[in-house]
Amino acid sequence: MSDFNSLGLAEPVLRAVTEAGYDQPTPIQAQAIPVMLKGGDLMGLAQTGTGKTAAFVLPLIDQLMADGKRPPGRSCRALVLAPTRELAAQIGQSIKTYSEHTPISHAVVFGGVKPGPQVRALARGVDILVATPGRLLDHLGAGKARLDLTTRVVLDEADQMLDLGFIPAIRRILTAVGPDRQTVMFSATMPKQIKKLAEDFLVSPKTVSVTPPSRPVERIDQKVLFVDPVDKAKALVDLMAPEAGKRTIIFTRTKHRADRVAKKLVSYGHKAHAIHGNKSQGQRERALDAFKTGAAPVLVATDIAARGIDVDGVELVVNFELPNVAESYVHRIGRTARAGASGRAVALCAPDERALLAAIEKLMGRSVEPLNDAPPPPKPAKGEDAKSGQHRRRRRPRRKGPRGSGEKQAA
Ligand code: AMP
């Protein structure tokens, strides 16, 4: 494998890499950095945890230094778009680290906070602007930002942008950037709409890809506990009793459930916070900081809130509820076993989640070791699809009356 010195990065950038403690580039870095340094468009297939942030930030800093221009007011020389504020903030943090020995400036703009300081940062012009799409459009609409002079654009986690409904916003933003630009896109998966976006906005891109997160599922000790929904809270408390103080992320499907689970754990003496879309930016930042420093090592999160959380040393991931989409399970448990470490994952599986578990096992090509005897799978009610995991409707007792009468109940 190549080392950083052979990639063509300038000395101040290499110095920051050395100080970050990186010995050699990750596979996505080794492939993407030379392409970006040449100025070509790039489609990078890589997930969080592969080192993809440095794969685009390092060459961006290098190129902007080499250009040697200054950013005009309200403008940015390079734009990085991220789907969530957490990811945007983390990219900003990476830029800060890697640009330490350079004059390259950056700013981060996202929603949920007052626009004033962002407007002031933009007014001076910045070398690299990291933004979530909605807030950037606000600034553009208000005439506080301009993109016509921007010559480099990175779209990070494009598939997550799609999930969050940002594609129309992305198209508007890319149209506002002049055509004479380098465009780089990173995505973990390649759904049709992302392919189309790449076709529309990338020019003869080189595609580089790394196998999904160095197959972390192989390194994760995965277990499943079969438990009735009403017993899940109690099961979690028992499960967490010997884990006090260990860095743990617990996933729930809903914000409401995240709050309830965090509260329950706190009542049992755990230092836990919930993090989800209804929390204010300040609350989210505080929860994340406490998680990182270990002051509150338990984080209860929904999938969207957890996106972009990049913390090493997560020992345990608990799926309080299994996700509806099998890929999300792999994303969730990939929060542990990062950077070559091993990790553990436990799923609490209710009878009506058995089909979801089966889909997850099929996706991974391996089974999850049960901690207790699995009850026989529930029989699907008539008209329900056994494979879809849609067993959640409760059967109602037969009702007399206009709607209930005559309806056949499945045995
Ligand atoms: P990312 O995929 O960008 O979220 O990066 C995942 C983690 O890998 C981050 O904690 C980075 O600090 C770390 N990282 C990035 N590049 C390297 C490297 N070349 N060697 C070791 N760790 C790295």
For the segment 84-118, what is each residue's pLDDT rounded down to a tens digit? 999 999 999 999 999 999 999 999 999 999 999 99
Q: What CATH code is carried by the domain that includes residue 286?
A: 3.40.50.300
CA distances from 118 to 5, 176, 289 (A): 36, 19, 22
Q: Whose CA is nearest to atom 13 of ligand 1?
A: 51
For residues 239 and 138, membership in a common domain is answered with no
Same domain, 205 and 86: yes
Helix (H, G, I), strand (E, B) or coil at 319: strand
Query: How many C-beta neighbours within 10 Å does residue 143 have?
Result: 8
Does any ligand 1 atom lie closer than 6 A to the CB of residue 312?
Answer: yes
- Residue to mutate (ligand 1; options 87, 93, 310, 311; most atoms within 8 A of CB): 310
Same domain (yes/no): 281, 321: yes
Residue 49 and residue 178 in one domain: yes
Residue nearest to atom 16 of ligand 1 (CA): 51
183 and 67 part of one domain: yes
| Distances 94 to 61, 285, 328 between C-alpha atoms, Å | 11, 17, 25
Q: Is the CB of 218 under 6 A from ligand 1?
A: no
In the block, tokens 């780089």 appear at 184
pLDDT in single tens digits along all 411 residues of the chain: 468 999 999 999 999 999 999 888 998 999 999 999 999 999 999 888 789 999 999 999 999 999 988 999 999 999 999 999 999 999 999 999 999 999 999 999 999 999 999 999 999 999 999 999 999 999 999 999 999 999 999 999 998 899 889 999 999 999 999 899 999 999 988 888 999 999 999 999 999 988 654 456 778 899 999 999 999 999 999 999 999 899 999 999 999 999 999 999 999 999 999 998 788 888 888 998 999 899 999 999 988 777 667 777 889 999 999 998 887 898 888 888 766 567 899 999 999 999 999 999 988 888 999 999 887 765 655 544 434 434 444 444 444 333 333 333 322
pTM confidence score: 0.61
- Identify the three-state secondary structure at position 262: helix
- Residue 25, ligand 1, Cβ within 6 A: yes
Classify residue 158: in a domain, yes or no.
yes
At position 233, the amino acid (one-letter code) is A
Distances (CA, A) of 77 to 69, 106, 157, 171: 9, 10, 21, 19
- Residue 310 CB–ligand 1 contact under 6 Å: yes
Same domain, 36 and 180: yes
Give yes or no: residues 115 and 193 share one domain: yes
Tell me, yes or no, whether 110 lies in a domain. Answer: yes
Asked if 285 and 200 sit in the same domain, the reply is no
Could you give the residue ranges of the DSSP H alpha helices within 165-267?
Answer: 167-176, 192-201, 216-219, 232-240, 255-267
Residues 186 and 231 in one domain: no
Interatomic CA distance for residues 235 and 34, integer angstroms: 50
Domain that holds residue 230: 220-370
* 159 and 238, same domain (yes or no): no
For the chain, how many structural domains are there in total?
Answer: 2
Whole-number Å distance, alpha carbon 50 to ligand 1 midpoint, is 6
